[in-house]
Structure 1
Amino acid sequence: MAAALRLAFFGLVGLWLLIAPAFAQEISQEAFERWETLAKGAEETIDAERGSNDTFEALRVRIADFRGQFDTARDQNANRIATLREQLAALGPKPEGEGAPAESADVAAKREELNGQLAALLLPVQRAETAFVRADNLVGEIDRILRDRQARELLTVTPSPLNPAHWQPAVTEFMRALNGLWNENPRKGKERSWDELRSTLPVAFLLLVLGGILILRGKKWSRVIVDKLRRLGARGLGIWRFVVSLLEVILPFAGMVLLALAAISTQFFGDAGHELLISIAVLAGIMMGVRWVSERVFSPNDDEALILLPPEKRAELRFHVAVITVMIVLGEVATLILESGFYAEATKSVLTFPPMLVSSIALYRIGTVFRGYEVVLNEDEPDAEPRMSSFSRVVRWLGTGAVIVGLISPILLAAGYFRAADAILPPYILTLILLGLVMSLQRFTADVYGTVTGQGVQARDALWPVLFGLILLVLAAPVLALVWGARITDLTELWSAVGRGFAIGDSRISPTDFLAFAVIFVIGYGLTRLVQSALRNNVLPKTRIDVGGQNAIVSGLGYVGIFLAALAAVTGAGLDLSSLAIVAGALSVGIGFGLQTVVSNFVSGIILLIERPISEGDWIEVGGQMGYVRDISVRSTRIETFDRTDVIVPNADLVSGTVTNFTRGNTVGRLIVPVGVAYGTDTRHVEKVLREIAEAQPMVLAAPPPNVLMVNFGADSLEFEIRCYLRDVNWMMSIKSDINHAIAARFAEEGFEIPFAQRDLWLRNAEVLTQPKLRKQSTTEKKDDTL
C-alpha cells in the first residue's frame, strides 16, 4: 500500500511538472509600458551610481519581478509553436532556384497560413525574450554596484580603539544613548500618570509571573513532560535526553520573551526601548541555544559527545563557548543602545573592542584544542600505517581556521579595520555553531532511526542517517552564505538562475526537467521490478521453462524495462537532445574504440541470455576453470568453483571460446572408473564382479546399463574400466569414491590382487660386493625385486 501511494504521489508531481507551463499568461501592453519606464530610470540611476544601498535593493526587487514575468512569458504557447514548426517541416522545403518545379497552390497557401500563425505566436515570445535579457543585465549591474560598495566598506579604516582619546567620548555617548532610551516618552510629551501605569500592572504582573516561573521551573518541567512521554516507548539511546535538553532551552526562552512583553505592556518605554527589550530577549534565547549546542557537541557524557575529546578538554571548550556567547551578546546590546541615538564612528569601535578581543582569545583557544583532535581508523592493526579519519581532518581544518581568525581579528581591530574584523570573527563563530547544530540534529535522527529499526547505536554509522546529515548540510548552506555577508537577493538570484536551467544547443534544461526525468524513471523502474518479481515468483514457476530460461526471461525483461523507462523519462521531461546528435555521434565513435571490449562483452551477454548455451546453475568448464554458473550479468559471468571461489569470466570468452557444459539440458553424465588386476586372474569373473558393483549403485542408470570393459594388457596389470551413466552428474566424484570402496571390499573377498608397479634393478660390477672389506661395510637390505 505504501509503495502504491508513493508511486501515485510521484505520478501527480510528474503530471504537474508536465502541465505547469500551460498556465503561462501573456504580458499586457500596459505592463510593457510600465517596464519601459522602470528600465529607463534604472539605467540612468545605474549610470550615475547615485542612491543608497536600500534604493538599489528596492529597484532590484522591482526589476527582478518583471524579469520573472518575462521568463514565464518566454515559454508561452511553446506547444503550439512546436506543433506549427512540425507542420511546416512536414510540408518540406519551399522549391527554390531555376528549373525547380512550382509549388502547388494548396501547399503554398497552407505554408503561408502556418507561417502567419507562427509569426503571430512568436511575436510576444520574442518581445518577452528581449525584455528578459534587458532586465537580467540590469539586475547584474545592480549586483555589481552593491558588491563593489560592500568590498569598499570592508577596507574602510575607522579610528583605532586603542587611542585613549576616544575612550571618554565613547563612554559619554553611550550613557547619553542609554539615558535617551530611559527618558523616551511614548506619550509624545504628555506626563505619565500613576493611574495609567496602574491600569497596565495586572497584565504586566501576570506576564512577569509566568515568565519567572518558566525561567525558574522550566528545567524541572521539561523532565516531567519527558518522563510522561517516555512511557509511550522509544526507550534507550539519547532520544529523550535530546528532547529534555531542547525543552530546557525552549521554556526559559519563552520566559524571557514573556518578561520582555511584561516590560513593554507597562508602556513605560518608547518604540526604541521596546525594540531593545525584544532584542535582549532574542539574544538571551540565542545564548541559551548556543549553550545547548555546546552541551551536545562537547557533552560530559562520552556516549553523547559528538567530538570525543578528553573530559577536561570538553569542559574547557564549553567554557570558551560560554565566554564567546556572553561577549557577543554584550557587544550586540551595546550596539543596539548606540543605534538608538547619534554616535561617532570611533564610539562603536571602542565599545565593541573588548568583547571582540575576548572572543578572539577564546576562539584561538578552541582552535588549538581542535588542532590536536585525532581519530585513527586502523589503530587495532599494529603493522598498518596509521590512517586519520576524514572527520578528524575536518575538525583540524576548522581548528586551523579558528587559530588564524583568532590571531588576525585583534590585529585588524587595533589597526582600525573594524568592518573587516567584524566580517570574519562573528561569521566564523556562527559557522562553528551552525555546524555543531547540524551535527546534533544528525545524531538525533540517527538515534531515532536506530530505535525504529532496532539497530541501536550501530545505526549512527548507517547510510540513511549519513544521507540525512548531508541534506542538513545542504539546507544549512544558504544560512552560511548569509552569515558570511551574502545578501538575500544573491540567494534568490542563484535560485532563479538554477530554476531557469542551462542551455544545451537549442534546448534549455531546468531542475524541473531533471525532477520530471527522475520521477518518470523511478516510476518506470519500479514497475519493471514489480513485473519482474511477479514473473519470477508467480508466473514462470508454473510453466515448464527450466530455471535458466526463467532467469534469462527475467533479466531480459529488466534490461528492456530500464531502457523504456529511460526513454519515457527523456520524452516526458521534454528534453530535446536532437541538437546533440552530431556531438553524440562523434563521442560514440571515440567511446566505441575505447570501450570496444566492454561493448563486446555487453553484446555477448545479450547473446547468452537469448541463445542460452549456458544458464545459471550449469556446471561448466572454460579456460581451465570449472564450476557452477551463479550469475550472468551484462558484462561478465560469475562462476563458483569447487573451492568456493568466484571466477569472473568476460561474456565474450563464453561466446567465442570453447565451453564444456556438463549439465546442459539434463544432468545425466557418464562415469568411468579404471581398475587393474594381477596377471593370471579370471577375467570373466572380474568382469562379473565389477558389473555387480556398478549395478548396485542407486545413482547408476539401468538404461543404458553399466558396461565393464577389459581395455588393455598393461605393463603391471590387466586393465578394466567400469563405464556407467549417472542420474545426476553433479554427484560424480562421490559415486566414484563409493565404487572404489566397493571394489576394494569385493576384491578382498574374491581374492583378487590389485598389483602395484614392478621394476627390475640392475647393478653394474656386482663382483665388488664379494670383497671382504666392502662386505663388512654393506648392510642387509630386503628387496622385493629380482637382482
Structure 2
Amino acid sequence: MRLRFFLPLLCLLAVTSTATQVAAQDVDPIETATTALDKASDEFRAIDAAYNDRTDAAQAHALQNRAAAVKQSSADQVAALSTQLQLIDARVAQIGPVTPGLVEAPDIRAQRKLLAQQRSTVDSAIKRGKLLGTEADQLATEISQAQANAFSERMSVRVPSPLTSGFWGPFLASFPRDSSLLSGFLKTEIDAIAGGARRGGLLPALAGLIIALVLIGPVRISLRAVGRRYVIERAPGSRIRRSGLALWLTVVGTLVPWLAATVFVNGLQAGEMIAKEWEKLAGGFQIACLIAALISALGGALLQRHQPSWRLIAISDETANRLRPWTFVASGVTMVSFGLLAIRDGVSTSWSAQAMADGLSTALYLALVLGILIGGARIRAQIIRAASAEDDTRGDQSVIAFLSLATWAIVAVSLVSLATGYVAFGHFLSRIIVWVAVVASTLYLGLVSVDDIFSTLFRRDGRLADAFYHGFGVRRSLIDQFGVALSALIRLMLILIAAGLVLFPFGSNIPSLFGQLGTIAKGVTIGQVTVSPGAILRAVAVLLVGMSVVRGFQKWLTGRYLPATELDAGARNSIAMVARYTGLILAVLWAMASLGIGIERIALLLSALSVGIGFGLQAITQNFVSGLILLAERPVKIGDWVVIGDQEGDVKKISVRATEIQIADRSTLIVPNSELITKSILNKTMADAIGRIQLQFSVPLGSDINQVRGIVMAIHEEHPAVLDDPKPSLFIDSIADGRVNFNGFAYVASPRLVYGTRSEIWFRLLTDLPDAGIELGTTPQQVQWIGAPATGAEGVIGTSPPAE
C-alpha cells in the first residue's frame, strides 16, 4: 500500500527534476545578464527622472538606496559576463588562430564567426554595465551631496533672536492664522475618527487599543519576570547572568512598547480613523515610542535600583536612585519633542511658528541635559569628598569630568545659537547630546553583553569546548581563543554601527558608513593585487588547513614512521624539524597564492627585503642557517652531553634559531645556533657514549702497593656502575717527597654517571684504605723564602724578609 502511494510521487519528482534541468540548460546566461542590465538601465532612468530640487530628505534617501542597488546589480552582471567572456576566449583558443593561406572547414568558419559575434555582444554588454554602474554611483553621490548641502543650508538659516521683538512680533501677528491651521489639522483627525466610527471602524480600533494595553501591562511584566527567573536559575556564570538580564530587560522594555504602539496605530488604520494628513504623525509616534522606550529600558537595565548586585556600572545605590527619574523625564521629553516636530511638519504654519516649535524642543532638551549635568556634578562632589586621596577611581572620575565638560561646552554653544537666532543649529546640538548618550549607553550594553556571552559560550571548560575536544580533538585553548577573537570582531562591528547611527536621524553630511564597508568588501587594489575580506578569509582558511595537514603529518612521522626506523633520537628530531618547517613554508606559500599573490611577486618581495635581511636581520639569518647546518650535519644532536664554557649538560632541543641545553641544576641554557657552529664545544658523547672516572691519590713510601692495588680494583669490581670493558686500571704516576702517587681510571656507561660514581668510590677509598692501615693523602708542600733563614720547623713559612 505504501509502495503504491510513493511510486507516483517519486515519478513526479523525477519528471520535475528532469524538466528543471532541461529548463536550466536552455537558459542562456548571456541573455539573462543582458536582460538584467536592461532592467537596471530602466531603473536608473526612473531614479534620474524622479530626483529634483524639490525632493525631500526621505525621498532622497530612498532614491539613493535605489541607485546603490542599480550599481550593485550592474557590478554583478559585469562579473557574470566577464566569466562568459573568459569561456568564449578559451573556446577561441581551442580553435586556434587563423592560418594565412589555409582554407578552413565550413563548420570551423561558422563556429569562429559565431564566437566572434558572441564575444562582441558580451564585450559591449560589459562596457555598458560598467558605464551604468559609474552613472549610478555618480547619481548616488550627487544625491548624497545634495542632502549634505541641504543639511548645511538648514543649519545656517538664521531667524531673529527670540530675545528681540523681531521674533515675537511676526509670531504674534501670524498667531491667528497658525491657530486656525492647527485647529483645522486637529479637526481633520477628529472627522476621520468620527467617520471611521460610523463606518464600523470602532471595533478594530478598540481591539488595537486593548491589545496595546495588554502588551504594555501583563505581557511586558510577565516577560521581565520570565527573564529574571531564567537568568537566576539556569544561566551559567555571574558575568553572563548580569549582562544577560540587562540585555533581556532592555529588549523587552524597548520592543514591547514599540509593538504596542504599532498595534494601536494599525488598529486605527484598519478602522480608517487616521486622516491622510496624520499618517506621517502616526509614523513619528511609533518612532518616538521606540526611542522613549529604549531610553527608559536602558536606564532600568543599567541602573538596577532594586538589585544592586546585578548592576553593570560601578555606581552607588544613591547615584542610581538619583539618576533613574531622569530616564523617565528623558522619555517624556522625547515624546513631546517628536510630537512638536511632527505637528510642525504636518501643518504649513509660518516661519515664526516653526521656529517657536524648534525653540520649545530645544529648551526641553537643554533643560533635561542641564538637570542631569547639575545632578551629576553634585553626585561627583559627594564622591570626591567621601573618597580618599589615594582612591583608585580618580582616573574614572577624570574621564567623567572630561565628558561633563564637553557636554557643558555643547550646551553653551546651543544656548548661544538659540539666542543669536540660529534655532535650527541649536536644536540640532541639543538633540544630538541626548541621541549620543542613548547610542553610547546601548553600545556599552552591547559590548559588555557580547563579551560576556562569547566568553562564557566558548570558555575552555564549557560544554562546547568539551564537544569539540572529544569529538574533533580541538584544543580547549583554541576554543577559548576563538571566543575572544569572535567577541572582538562583533564588538568592532557594533562600534562601527554605533558610529554610523550617531548622526543618522539628523540628515547629516556624514557619508554612508555601510556604503564604504560594501566598497571595502569588494576588495582594495594594492599594486596588481586585489585584497578583499573574502580573499583574506580564504587565505586564513587555507593556512589553517595547511598547518593542520603539516601538524598531522609531523605527528605521524614522529609517532609512527620514524620509530620504525633504526635512526637515533637526534636523527629523528632533525628529520621531523626539517619536515615541519618545509611544510609550514609550503602552507604559507599556498595561503599567499590564495590571497592572489603569485610566486613571482613573492620572489620580488624577497629580493626587495634582501637588503633589510642582510643588515637588520643578520643575526637571525645567521642562526637560522646555523640551525639548518646542525640539523643536516648533526655535530651536536639531541641527547648529547656537551660542555660550553663553564657549563655542561644534555642537549634537549635543536630548533632553527637556538639549541636548548639542560644543565645540572635542571635549568635550561639557550645557546644560539651560530655559537655551536663558529666556536669550540666539547661533545662528550659524539663518538663514544661512555664516561671515564679518574682517581688521583698518594700513599706513604713503603706501603704495600699490591694491597693498595687490590683494594682499589675490588672497589671498582663491586660497584655496579663501573664497566668491565674497558677494564678499570691503576697506575703509579710518580714517586716524590716520600710518597707514591697513583693515577687510576674506570669507565661508566654514560658521562652523566661520572660525578656520582666517582663520589661513591671516594667514599669507599676513604674508608677501606685507613681500615687496612694505609694512609691516604697527598704530598705535603713546603714554601720557604730563598736566601732567608728558616724561622720555624719544616713546613712552616718563614716570616723574615729576604736578604739584600
Which category describes the TM-score, using the shorter chain as reference length? 0.7 to 0.9
Of residues 742, 745, 755, the one that matches 1:723 is 745
User: Could you say if the C-alpha distance between residues 148 and 576 of structure 1 is closer, same or farther in structure 2, counting changes exceeding 3 Å?
Assistant: farther
Q: Distance in 2 between matches of 1:632 and 1:328?
A: 70
Of residues 519, 540, 547, the one that matches 1:497 is 519
Q: Distance in 2 between matches of 1:78 and 1:201?
A: 56
Of residues 753, 756, 759, the one that matches 1:737 is 759
Would you say the 8 A contact 1:67–1:136 is kept in 2? Answer: yes
Q: Distance in 1 between matches of 2:41 and 2:33?
A: 13
The residue that corresponds to 2:717 in the other structure is 695
Q: Distance in 1 between matches of 2:86 and 2:603?
A: 19
The residue that corresponds to 2:263 in the other structure is 261
Question: Shift of the alpha carbon at 1:708?
Answer: 2.0
Q: Distance in 2 between matches of 1:551 and 1:400?
A: 64
Q: Distance in 1 between matches of 2:382 and 2:697?
A: 73
User: Could you say if the C-alpha distance between residues 646 and 367 of structure 1 is closer, same or farther in structure 2, counting changes exceeding 3 Å?
Assistant: farther
Superposed counterparts of 1:348-747, under 5 Å = 348-362=357-371, 364=373, 398=403, 401-421=406-426, 422-423=428-429, 424-442=432-450, 444-445=452-453, 448-449=456-457, 453=461, 466-476=484-494, 477-485=496-504, 490-576=512-598, 578=600, 582=604, 585-622=607-644, 624-664=646-686, 667-713=689-735, 718-747=740-769
Once the two structures are superposed, what CA deviation does each residue of 1:751-787 show, in whole Å capped at 9, x if it has no partner? 32314643245699979x9xxxxxxxxxxx9997487
Would you say the 8 A contact 2:145–2:509 is kept in 1? Answer: no
Q: Distance in 2 between matches of 1:705 and 1:450?
A: 64
Unaligned runs of 5+ in 2: 1-27, 464-476, 799-804
The residue that corresponds to 2:356 in the other structure is 347
What secondary structure, in the 3-state scheme, does the structure 1 residue paired with 2:453 have?
helix
Question: Shift of the alpha carbon at 1:520?
Answer: 1.7
Would you say the 8 A contact 1:159–1:416 is kept in 2? Answer: yes
Once the two structures are superposed, what CA deviation does each residue of 1:124-164 show, in whole Å capped at 9, x if it has no partner? 44554455445444444443443343334333335545568
Would you say the 8 A contact 1:219–1:248 is kept in 2? Answer: no
User: Could you say if the C-alpha distance between residues 555 and 330 of structure 1 is closer, same or farther in structure 2, counting changes exceeding 3 Å?
Assistant: farther
User: Could you say if the C-alpha distance between residues 729 and 200 of structure 1 is closer, same or farther in structure 2, counting changes exceeding 3 Å?
Assistant: same
Question: Quick check: 1:759 aligned with 2:782?
Answer: yes
User: Could you say if the C-alpha distance between residues 261 and 664 of structure 1 is closer, same or farther in structure 2, counting changes exceeding 3 Å?
Assistant: same
What secondary structure, in the 3-state scheme, does the structure 1 residue paired with 2:767 have?
helix
What secondary structure, in the 3-state scheme, does the structure 2 residue paired with 1:585 have?
helix
Give the letter for the 2:211 counterpart.
L
Superposed counterparts of 1:39-438, under 5 Å = 52-53=56-57, 56-76=60-80, 120=120, 124-158=125-159, 160=161, 166=168, 183-185=187-189, 188=192, 191=195, 196=200, 199-200=203-204, 203=207, 206-207=210-211, 210-211=214-215, 213-214=217-218, 218-219=220-221, 222-223=224-225, 226-227=228-229, 233-234=234-235, 236-251=237-252, 254=256, 257-258=259-260, 261=263, 265=267, 267=271, 269-270=273-274, 272=278, 274-275=282-283, 278-295=286-303, 301=308, 304-309=310-315, 312-313=318-319, 323-343=329-349, 344-362=353-371, 364=373, 398=403, 401-421=406-426, 422-423=428-429, 424-438=432-446
What secondary structure, in the 3-state scheme, does the structure 2 residue paired with 1:474 have?
helix
Question: Shift of the alpha carbon at 1:441?
Answer: 0.6
Once the two structures are superposed, what CA deviation does each residue of 1:633-667 show, in whole Å capped at 9, x if it has no partner? 33222333334444332222223333333344774
Give the letter for the 2:729 counterpart.
N
User: Could you say if the C-alpha distance between residues 51 and 190 of structure 1 is closer, same or farther in structure 2, counting changes exceeding 3 Å?
Assistant: closer
Question: Shift of the alpha carbon at 1:497?
Answer: 1.5
Give the letter for the 1:270 counterpart.
I
Larger mean CA deviation between 524-533 and 535-544 belongs to 535-544
- TM-score when normalising by structure 2: 0.74
Give the letter for the 2:710 counterpart.
K
Q: Distance in 2 between matches of 1:275 and 1:91?
A: 64
Once the two structures are superposed, what CA deviation does each residue of 1:384-429 show, in whole Å capped at 9, x if it has no partner? xx99999898777656644544554444444444444425423431
Question: Shift of the alpha carbon at 1:274?
Answer: 4.3
Superposed counterparts of 1:33-44, under 5 Å = none
Q: Distance in 1 between matches of 2:296 and 2:336?
A: 14
Q: Distance in 2 between matches of 1:470 and 1:654?
A: 44
What secondary structure, in the 3-state scheme, does the structure 2 residue paired with 1:702 have?
coil
Q: Distance in 2 between matches of 1:198 and 1:140?
A: 47
Q: Distance in 2 between matches of 1:502 and 1:604?
A: 40
User: Could you say if the C-alpha distance between residues 412 and 621 of structure 1 is closer, same or farther in structure 2, counting changes exceeding 3 Å?
Assistant: farther
Q: Distance in 1 between matches of 2:392 and 2:127?
A: 60
What secondary structure, in the 3-state scheme, does the structure 2 residue paired with 1:453 have?
coil
Question: Shift of the alpha carbon at 1:494?
Answer: 0.9
Considering Cα pairs closer than 8 Å and 6+ residues apart, tell me whether 1 or 2 has the greater RCO: 1
User: Could you say if the C-alpha distance between residues 759 and 269 of structure 1 is closer, same or farther in structure 2, counting changes exceeding 3 Å?
Assistant: farther
Give the fraction of aligned pairs with identical amino acids, expressed as a percent: 21
What secondary structure, in the 3-state scheme, does the structure 1 residue paired with 2:776 have?
coil
User: Could you say if the C-alpha distance between residues 250 and 495 of structure 1 is closer, same or farther in structure 2, counting changes exceeding 3 Å?
Assistant: closer
Of residues 759, 771, 795, the one that matches 1:749 is 771
Unaligned runs of 5+ in 1: 1-22, 95-102, 770-780
Question: Shift of the alpha carbon at 1:286?
Answer: 1.0
Question: Shift of the alpha carbon at 1:730?
Answer: 1.9
User: Could you say if the C-alpha distance between residues 146 and 349 of structure 1 is closer, same or farther in structure 2, counting changes exceeding 3 Å?
Assistant: closer
Would you say the 8 A contact 1:212–1:259 is kept in 2? Answer: no
Give the letter for the 2:499 counterpart.
L
User: Could you say if the C-alpha distance between residues 182 and 750 of structure 1 is closer, same or farther in structure 2, counting changes exceeding 3 Å?
Assistant: farther
User: Could you say if the C-alpha distance between residues 142 and 555 of structure 1 is closer, same or farther in structure 2, counting changes exceeding 3 Å?
Assistant: farther
The residue that corresponds to 2:5 in the other structure is none
Give the letter for the 2:369 counterpart.
S
Q: Distance in 2 between matches of 1:736 and 1:539?
A: 40
User: Could you say if the C-alpha distance between residues 678 and 475 of structure 1 is closer, same or farther in structure 2, counting changes exceeding 3 Å?
Assistant: same
Question: Shift of the alpha carbon at 1:238?
Answer: 4.4
Larger mean CA deviation between 307-316 and 665-674 belongs to 307-316
Give the letter for the 1:522 counterpart.
L
Superposed counterparts of 1:7-46, under 5 Å = none
Q: Distance in 1 between matches of 2:693 and 2:177?
A: 108
Q: Distance in 2 between matches of 1:605 and 1:92?
A: 53
User: Could you say if the C-alpha distance between residues 124 and 37 of structure 1 is closer, same or farther in structure 2, counting changes exceeding 3 Å?
Assistant: closer
User: Could you say if the C-alpha distance between residues 635 and 369 of structure 1 is closer, same or farther in structure 2, counting changes exceeding 3 Å?
Assistant: farther
Larger mean CA deviation between 524-533 and 32-41 belongs to 32-41
Question: Shift of the alpha carbon at 1:117?
Answer: 9.6
Would you say the 8 A contact 1:630–1:638 is kept in 2? Answer: yes
Once the two structures are superposed, what CA deviation does each residue of 1:182-208 show, in whole Å capped at 9, x if it has no partner? 644487596465894764587357526
Would you say the 8 A contact 1:360–1:407 is kept in 2? Answer: no
Once the two structures are superposed, what CA deviation does each residue of 1:667-721 show, in whole Å capped at 9, x if it has no partner? 4222323333344433333233222222322222111112223334466954333
Would you say the 8 A contact 1:438–1:469 is kept in 2? Answer: no
User: Could you say if the C-alpha distance between residues 85 and 464 of structure 1 is closer, same or farther in structure 2, counting changes exceeding 3 Å?
Assistant: closer
- TM-score when normalising by structure 1: 0.75
User: Could you say if the C-alpha distance between residues 74 and 37 of structure 1 is closer, same or farther in structure 2, counting changes exceeding 3 Å?
Assistant: closer
What secondary structure, in the 3-state scheme, does the structure 2 residue paired with 1:759 have?
coil
Give the letter for the 1:289 counterpart.
A
- Give the count of matched residue pairs: 727
Would you say the 8 A contact 2:782–2:795 is kept in 1? Answer: no
User: Could you say if the C-alpha distance between residues 174 and 452 of structure 1 is closer, same or farther in structure 2, counting changes exceeding 3 Å?
Assistant: farther
Would you say the 8 A contact 2:246–2:302 is kept in 1? Answer: no
